[in-house]
């Protein structure tokens, strides 16, 4: 799996485990992600995938490097998807 695929899988897992916010973002703590069995099976290097997603501005969290135990309560926020332009939204909606 390449980095782009891993980041997409991470976004899916944050949506599965996190809580949706009024602005459309999702929040989950690092501990929840780290201790989830499904995430453990998907991601060989969860911290590396988190850093790649942060670098691509898909999510935010405080700090650079998250460590299990020490940073279990750090909130990770998956940003809401950008709004689709009206023309694209009209093409996607059934008539």
CA distances, 12 to each of 17, 33, 76, 83, 89 (Å)? 9, 12, 13, 18, 22
Average pLDDT over residues 67-89: 84
pLDDT at 81: 82
Local structure of 40: helix, strand or coil: helix
pTM above 0.75, yes or no: yes
Phi, psi of 25 (to 5 degrees): -80, 170
Evaluate if residue 95 carries a pLDDT over 60: no
Evaluate if residue 5 carries a pLDDT over 90: yes
Condensed to tens digits (0 to 9), the pLDDT of residues 53-71 reads 999 999 999 998 899 999 9
Q: How confident is the model at residue 91 (pLDDT cuts 50, 70, 90)?
A: low
Instruction: State the fold for domain 3-92.
Output: Arc Repressor Mutant, subunit A (1.10.10)
In 3D, which of 79, 1, 75, 76 has the Cα closest to residue 41? 1
Radius of gyration of the CA atoms of the chain, in A: 15
Condensed to tens digits (0 to 9), the pLDDT of residues 12-61 reads 999 999 999 999 999 999 999 999 999 999 998 999 999 999 999 999 99
Tokens 């390449």 correspond to 2
* H-helix segments, 1-95: 3-17, 30-35, 37-42, 46-55, 86-92
């Amino acid at each position: 799996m390449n980095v782009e695929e891993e980041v997409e899988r991470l976004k899916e897992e944050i949506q599965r485990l996190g809580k949706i916010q009024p602005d459309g973002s999702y929040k989950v703590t690092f501990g929840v992600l780290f201790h989830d069995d499904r995430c453990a099976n998907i991601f060989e290097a969860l911290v590396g995938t988190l850093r790649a997603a942060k670098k691509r501005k898909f999510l935010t969290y405080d700090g650079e490097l998250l460590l299990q135990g020490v940073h279990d309560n750090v909130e990770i926020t998956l940003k809401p998807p950008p709004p689709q332009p009206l023309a694209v939204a009209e093409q996607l909606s059934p008539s």
